[in-house]
Structure 1
């Protein structure tokens, strides 16, 4: 018999400013330390290697979400009744409410709507030549689209706070003693109050996601208490993560102009794999947690039943054990097995909609003749406990 290996320990702070600015050196250190690493600052176990993260996202029976995917009791309780923090069989009922609407076939029907929204904005930005890819571009496209698709009451009702709430709810995902987490709690409370008192069935748009959720509760398909968290789960994550994809894509293409040239020369064939590579390089959601329902072994290291485990998506995507030369941005790689959207029954339900928005926005820049993005100022990351996005990204575009 082979003796069980001891789980290595690390004091790396996954929520420091330095880590959030550039997490990849820390991720490599954790991967090199072992298949699972106990984080002494958090008293949780982290999975940083691709193999372990992949096994975890595909195995909901062992890696349970029902006890929360956060590192604090407050958000774990708030997320109760969402697709993010519920296991089958009820998870299947929750997911079924919007499953068909978020299928690739149905999402593709929104292409013309998105093209109309982004066309005028991109045309204006290209004419200007220099702009902030976040504030002038992504922020003008994504939140308004999410509000309309979900069917929330229009601006002036409180929905204009969606962008701020999106950032705050992911900050609340962090540990209870974290400053960003504590400062964001009030935003979380305001969001849930708004969803409960303003985004009622009478106030949301017929045909929107929110209306479908209310109707499912009236039919008895889901519990009434799931309506508010389910509306939150289908709107807030879809905002911040899509913003992250767009900003990360523009930054990577600015830093790798040869890759942009490849895409613009053959967008029909290469835009999809290009965005897949963007997702691998910079996962918009860097981690979620799970709780083990039984002992689990990873390459000779056993993690005990009941342990809370962090699945480090951003690290798994950069694991040199799985992806050759993982820090190189290569749109011909086509890493469809990335873990940026999780996997298995808990794979992100809105992933096709997020990718379509990014796809059509970048395609609009191609159609406007943009041959190059260049970062021209102080680009700053939005230091968030969970997501990886830019706060501002000043760029100049060159047009053929």
Structure 2
């Protein structure tokens, strides 16, 4: 800890902090542009400008030695796409991103839209559902799993595995320890089952091995790169969909605006992600001494980039706690920025747009009856969201 830097002993990983971290974020932003978190021996950037600048400067804020909190976890994950820097990162991302480019979404859009029709028709006609399991999970668990080309055995455990992997993002606490067996199970699946001969040869996973055969990436990277298709394509999208429905249920005036003007859908998605990002932080390691907020942090310092706090910084967003789909916050940080911007964001947007378009046709109002939050070291959102639909033609 350096003189001149405010210190906080807040615990970002209590149950209450995982459910609602926003008062803590307010406190951290008020303390300064950089705060030393004494519990974790790391610095935090809670304000927008500093987080965005760090995301755009991978040379100084390196991902190569991990992006989580715990040192042992970071050491084990070194070299995966998320925990690498150019040029290694660039090569892996180029392979991963080919089927996820914006122009490639035109190929998968008809299938996603057809399935969106099917699931929205089913849940709205019933009048009420758990938005998480019956609506939000549907596209990621059906269409996306097929696109990746995963074998049938193991699919039923994908959500459990992905949640476990996200639980390793925090400190070495009880959640992380409990996640260990599921993480090992997924690694075994990736090494032994999600391999050529057992995966769909036309799927995205097979394309990883084809790229390795061409010498574009090392063959031993392929199993771990499966993480990049499983974890981002499942939990984060599911949580984003449920969060968006909840925000519209609590702000019916904004739902009226969207129903009247469908061009607001992309802005509504950005505003939902700004206000309730499913992933609230990653960390980086400083490669050199670097000045932040008038104080020079030494090389080797681990720095937490608090996206969830930055997205609610009133220095950047007026009335940041208000859900306003006319705000057009395309510069939000929920997808990251720079070299490590979310590789699957175009697919996630396509899924959410497809659902919102169809819900806007059929639903006049959402009413929340009951909800239960996710308690996870890396994720925020709903584990259960019981919602009733008022039909648009009622």
| TM-score bucket (shorter structure) | over 0.9
Equivalence map 1:1-400=2 (5 Å): 6-154=4-152, 157-176=153-172, 178-267=173-262, 269-367=263-361, 369-377=362-370, 379-400=371-392
Q: Is the 8 A contact 2:97 2:344 kept in 1?
A: no
Task: Name the CA distance, whole Å, in 2 between partners of 1:364 and 1:332.
Answer: 20
Task: Name the CA distance, whole Å, in 1 between partners of 2:167 and 2:113.
Answer: 31
Residues 350 and 212 of structure 1: CA distance in aligned 2, closer, same or farther (over 3 Å):
same
Task: Name the CA distance, whole Å, in 2 between partners of 1:265 and 1:75.
Answer: 48
Q: Is the 8 A contact 2:165 2:183 kept in 1?
A: yes
Q: Is the 8 A contact 1:108 1:356 kept in 2?
A: no
Aligned-residue offset at 1:370:
0.5
Q: Hey, which bits of structure 1, 4+ residues long, moved more than 6 A?
A: none
Q: Is the 8 A contact 1:146 1:235 kept in 2?
A: no
Aligned-residue offset at 1:306:
0.2
Aligned-residue offset at 1:130:
1.1
Task: Name the CA distance, whole Å, in 1 between partners of 2:229 and 2:73.
Answer: 16
Residues 268-315 of structure 1: per-residue CA shift (max 9 Å, x gap): x11101101011001111111110001121221222110111111100
Task: Name the CA distance, whole Å, in 1 between partners of 2:105 and 2:76.
Answer: 28
Task: Name the CA distance, whole Å, in 1 between partners of 2:379 and 2:27.
Answer: 20
Task: Name the CA distance, whole Å, in 2 between partners of 1:293 and 1:74.
Answer: 19
Unaligned runs of 5+ in 2: none
SS at match of 2:129: strand
SS at match of 1:234: helix
Aligned-residue offset at 1:78:
4.0
Residues 35-71 of structure 1: per-residue CA shift (max 9 Å, x gap): 1111111111111100110011100000000000111
Task: Name the CA distance, whole Å, in 2 between partners of 1:13 and 1:232.
Answer: 28
Task: Name the CA distance, whole Å, in 2 between partners of 1:144 and 1:7.
Answer: 48
Task: Name the CA distance, whole Å, in 2 between partners of 1:219 and 1:100.
Answer: 15
Task: Name the CA distance, whole Å, in 1 between partners of 2:294 and 2:312.
Answer: 22
Aligned-residue offset at 1:144:
2.1
Aligned-residue offset at 1:394:
0.6
Residues 78 and 212 of structure 1: CA distance in aligned 2, closer, same or farther (over 3 Å):
farther
Moved more, 26-35 or 235-244: 235-244
Residues 176-196 of structure 1: per-residue CA shift (max 9 Å, x gap): 2x1111100111100010011
Normalised by the size of structure 2, how large is the TM-score? 0.97
Q: Is the 8 A contact 1:82 1:226 kept in 2?
A: yes
Moved more, 57-66 or 119-128: 119-128
Aligned-residue offset at 1:203:
1.2
Task: Name the CA distance, whole Å, in 1 between partners of 2:305 and 2:105.
Answer: 28
Residues 265 and 109 of structure 1: CA distance in aligned 2, closer, same or farther (over 3 Å):
farther
Unaligned runs of 5+ in 1: none
Task: Name the CA distance, whole Å, in 2 between partners of 1:373 and 1:218.
Answer: 50
Q: Is the 8 A contact 1:291 1:309 kept in 2?
A: yes
